[in-house]
Chain A
């Protein structure tokens, strides 16, 4: 049954996306590991890690698109789910360091020894096992999203108010994780990782494997998201986005649909964070910064919300631009990003993907099904 459900996600666009991602997962690591360094097609380890990071961002964008593009919930706190997944992975990686830390304590991570903690806090137990950490990567953001969503959707907190709540949530977590006595390394966060699954984390082969894992996870998540949006449930979600009250009056329990997609999306964001941390080698509270969450929203807007592939395109394009700008013209980057926010909302409400679709059809505008027609309009 599940296979059948997932197969329903394989529309034409999904087939292409999955094929591209699978090819990337195979070819990029191969070019990095097998081709000689002076080859034209060689991908350096730096580029590999950078692209791997983009892929995790794409996964985060996909999760934002699922709730915003299809259900009209503008989350300004998805970075929190991303960071929580990242912290769960970071805790596993910290436990993997073992006695090789600066203070060589077999049990306690360095920062705890530094703060003269005597024993491991209860919430750090179990993170020495990979399966437990992976479970937590999904459960922690999932449960938080479920609780927040349960309360918020039941009391019909919608639109701008929900956005502000999610922003307050990530801001509160930002402040909390900055505290040293939370037991998450304070403002330094978790870093200096050594091994993942027993493999040295800096080794090119491990990095190539992480890249492949990111690409395949993204492909898998894409299929799930595609299946969800193509299903009957997905149609109800779009109905909620376009006319929430009307959907409720017809007899759908709107809050349940919202809660489902909201929690699913948070789990995806958590997985993105978990893949992000071993590749960049650090997780610290700045990932909780509200501006990081808003940036994730703009990736989706640039790519084209309400189209799953748009989220992927947007995340990669914007982050590629960010890498280039912050390297070449650092003072221009904020102008460019700000201009992107303004320009896309004013002139490209359907993003890059929408633009291409329109150009291909050759029509000058006109709204089509599946593309948001402006939310919360009375």
Chain B
């Protein structure tokens, strides 16, 4: 009996090689192969698996998966193989090929096809082979990644075939790396292995490093090549890490820019230290929350546009509160900057407590619209959409503000008042009005910052507290009365912060920066881009 079956299996193998190009075979034929799985010992099953895999039928991968999971059972009565599932005391059977229901059988009437580790490996490799040739690129990619993990030299022939047939570029790239790892694990010649090494090294990723590192400790030319490749990867990873940190730094810098730019205006134009500036940011964030809740309640279809719709609302609300503060408190304190500082600190306490009483002390949730979620990769750098949007937004606000200062009548008047208040007043500029509008503009921009920050920070009454000191640092570092100074200051501090972080830790990095700024102010008391001339002594 046995020799006959063996011959049959060999014949089937030959046949199936011919049939592989067809990729599908008749159900009855396939059932024959499946039936072979349930006969004999582990060796027989392994041969049956090879035979089944060689058919190349697209259903085979699923069947082999079930076998690996231990779901296949043999009916003792006739030796037929079924997919079994528990059904009370009995076992529910289904045809493995067609999936059709095949009734139930008592537990005693069926026997599980046992699988050992060697068989499991054979199944995994066979499934990998099958899926590598699958018509679905996603399946092929997953299969290539599986091979990448197993690094099984046995797959090499199939892999070569798959690479030759592959049309999707990045799937082919994954396959080639998988092939290189398999070559490294095989007994191929030194030259082949070195070629494989350099193919992996070309990736330059952390994964590639972990693929190569086992060989770096080897003797001989291969070990040397591996070490060199590993060093190269480490270098490129360092660069990519730095690039990633610079990117984080740009993102932090634009957050700082958004928070500080309004402060730069009020501080620069009016010489007013607005300690309540952080609370304007907070008000902007809460406006976003209110707009979002209103839209969710009355116009759920617009929910994705809640964020852009909040922009004007936040600007107007925060700007309005700013003008109110200016008219009621600050205008009595001009020329006394230190007292303005104290009064606005008081305002900030009141605003915080007011928001806490209105909205509660807990964090409020502001959703991220669908079009802002997600991320994409640039090289080995991950770029998340919210960060990108914040950078774009900060730049847009900054450029719009510069344009407004340069090309609008209000901007002209503001610049005149900044340079020489008395002279501007005698030229007929109504400086109190300019002051109120400037303060409103600065506060409104803080409100816009709040909309952006609602995406990356907790919307709580303490939101503003976290930004006020940083914003002051930016303004003082960049130089008062100079928006470009604020821009450079924000970006420098943001990037320096993120570059320091990996080496010194987040907290120590921040401390170092604060100390640096304290020392810097000693050297240049008026900041990076100081106003020159008479304005200095004001």
Contacts and interface: CB of A to CB of B under 8 A. Distances in A.
A157 B357 CA distance: 40
Nearest to B514: A172
A340 interface: yes
B522 A294 contact: no
A334 B521 contact: no
Contacts of B522: 151-152, 154-155, 157
Contact of A341 (B273, B335, B346, B511): B346
B507 A168 contact: no
Interface in A150-168: 151-152, 154-157, 159-161, 163-165, 167-168
Contacts of B469: 167-168, 171, 290
Interface in B251-310: 271, 273
A342 B519 CA distance: 32
B337 interface: yes
B338 interface: yes
B521 A165 contact: yes
Contact of B345 (A341, A346, A349): A341
A4 interface: no
Scoring A148, A169, A175, A345 by chain B CB atoms within 10 A of each residue's CB, the highest score goes to A345
B231 interface: no
24 contacts: A151-B519, A172-B510, A172-B515, A176-B508, A178-B507, A179-B507, A245-B537, A290-B469, A331-B357, A334-B353, A334-B356, A338-B353, A339-B346, A341-B342, A341-B343, A341-B346, A342-B329, A346-B332, A349-B339, A374-B336, A376-B337, A377-B335, A377-B336, A378-B538
Interface string B336-367: 11111111011111111110110000000000
Given A155-B525, A161-B521, A345 B333 contact: yes
A28 interface: no
Contacts of A245: 537
Contacts of A341: 342-343, 345-347, 349
Interface residues of A, number: 48
Contacts of B525: 155-157, 161
Nearest to B361: A331
A338 B347 contact: yes
B414 interface: no
Contact of A346 (B337, B343, B473, B518): B343
A377 B521 CA distance: 22
Interface string B498-538: 00000000011011001101110111010000000000011
A298 interface: yes
Chain A binding surface SS class: helix
Size band of the interface chain B makes with A: 35 or more
Scoring B341, B346, B351, B508 by chain A CB atoms within 10 A of each residue's CB, the highest score goes to B346
Contact of B347 (A165, A342, A375): A342
Interface in A328-378: 331, 334-335, 337-346, 349, 374-378
A301 to B, nearest CB: 6
A377 B469 CA distance: 25
B491 interface: no
A18 interface: no
A325 to B, nearest CB: 12
B350 A335 contact: yes
A123 to B, nearest CB: 17
Given A172-B510, A337-B349, 17 more contacts: A74-B338, A74-B341, A154-B522, A160-B338, A163-B341, A165-B518, A165-B521, A178-B507, A245-B537, A298-B342, A334-B352, A334-B353, A335-B354, A337-B346, A339-B346, A342-B343, A377-B336
Contact of B342 (A151, A159, A179, A297): A297
Nearest to B473: A168
Nearest to A346: B332
B472 interface: yes
Interface in B315-341: 329, 332-333, 335-341
A240 B333 CA distance: 21
B511 A164 contact: no
Given A160-B341, A178-B507, A331-B357, A338 B538 contact: no
Nearest to B335: A377
A310 B290 CA distance: 45
Contacts of A163: 273, 338, 341
A188 to B, nearest CB: 16
B337 A301 contact: no
A294 B341 CA distance: 10
B346 A374 contact: no
Contacts of B9: none
Interface in A268-303: 290, 294, 297-298, 301
A21 to B, nearest CB: 28
Nearest to A347: B332
Given A346-B333, A378-B538, A168 B517 contact: yes
B476 interface: yes
A161 B84 CA distance: 79
A179 B511 CA distance: 11
A85 B516 CA distance: 25
B439 to A, nearest CB: 16
Nearest to A68: B338
A171 B514 contact: yes
A343 B346 CA distance: 9
